[in-house]
Amino acid sequence: MTDTAQQDPRETSDPGEPTEQPDPNEQPDPTGQLEPTEQPEPEQPEPGEATERPLRAGEAVLLIDGKGRRYLVTLQPGAEFHSHTGFIRHEELIGRPEGISVRANRSGTFLVLRPTLAEYVLKMPRGAQVIYPKDLGPILMLADIFPGARVLESGIGSGALSMTLLRAGAEVHGYELRPDFAARARKNVASFLGDGALDHYHVSERDCYDGIDLTGLDRVVLDLPEPWQVVRHAEAALRPGGILVAYTPSIIQASRLRDELEGSAFGFAGTLEVLQRTWHVEGQAVRPDHRMVAHTGFLTHARLLGS
Ligand SMILES: C[S@@+](CC[C@H](N)C(=O)[O-])C[C@H]1O[C@@H](n2cnc3c(N)ncnc32)[C@H](O)[C@@H]1O
């Protein structure tokens, strides 16, 4: 990337560093246990199978303290969760139902819940910066993701978008430049969705600007510094009626992409950003919250027209 105006504001100087992005939900992990170690992958319920099942070793759970602070912990026999209120043995949770409250040995009670996808994305171990839940939902709609959709995703980074596409039922082909990010994304996908999800997740370590080695795709979804370099490749790889969606942190990138789409076989192009403002609702005190994440990125979408 040559133009600093196209710099991804989500990137820290070292993409391997934890994110600097303000995240109102994010809390420090007092245990240092966010890095998963080798452990059994949790079994995921089959579609239609009851999800009311005991917590199992290998599963990620959220421990939520009295102040609403959330800690992501992967349950392991013999392991302990430590905080300033003392410790909780993971064995006290394994085999118990979701929704219980447990006391730490000194003081303090923690509510135990499985994380939602949005909660997991905000707390999971990251290589590259993730797309936030407020944009992940709209991407599913703009790209019109459906069960069985053949999707090319690039780059895959930490896998937040991948797990969103996979959970919506897509068959995801991921192109990622960096082997360490590819490995991290696969770990995150398996950790949240189970090993079975990897059957639908085909990651290649390759440069998406060099081309797309697939045809008849339903969707191309991009989170890359220079998505305009992929437009010609997407024209050849998508079926007529297929959809391209690109997330770009800067409007300069979105504008450059729109210029490239203008001279291509794509039509019905659009660009938008999603603003999310939370409210303080307490008795008569009802007003917007003072702080919000004011900007994340722009979503550009277009449809491949028939020849
Ligand atoms: C911001 S991250 C993607 C984050 C991802 N969307 C998520 O939600 O976790 C951008 C990724 O694109 C990858 N990348 C950059 N240029 C690429 C290229 N030409 N081909 C493939 N991957 C590329 C980077 O290595 C990085 O992992």
Instruction: Walk me through the domains of the chain, giving residue ranges and CATH numbers.
Output: 1-115 (3.10.330.20), 119-304 (3.40.50.150)
Instruction: Give the pLDDT mean for 43-55.
Output: 64
Three-state secondary structure call for residue 244: strand
pTM, two decimal places: 0.85
Give residue 307's pLDDT: 65
How far is the C-alpha of 122 from the C-alpha of 23, rounded, in Å? 8
Per-residue pLDDT at 1: 37
Looking at residue 45, its pLDDT comes to: 55
What pLDDT does 8 receive?
52
Task: Tell me the pLDDT of the chain averaged across its residues.
Answer: 87
Q: Which residue has the tokens 């069985």?
A: 148
Best of 151, 156, 201 for a ligand 1 pocket test (most atoms within 8 Å of beta carbon): 156
What's the pLDDT at 106?
84
pLDDT in tens, 264-294: 999 999 999 999 999 999 999 999 999 999 9
C-alpha of residue 221 to centroid of ligand 1, in Å: 11
193-218 pLDDT, tens per residue?
Answer: 999 999 999 999 999 999 999 999 99
Which SS3 state, helix, strand or coil, does residue 188 take?
helix
Q: Is the pLDDT of residue 5 over 50?
A: no
In contact, 133 and 118? CB cutoff 8 Å: yes
Q: Whose CA is nearest to atom 2 of ligand 1?
A: 157
CA distance 267 to 270: 9
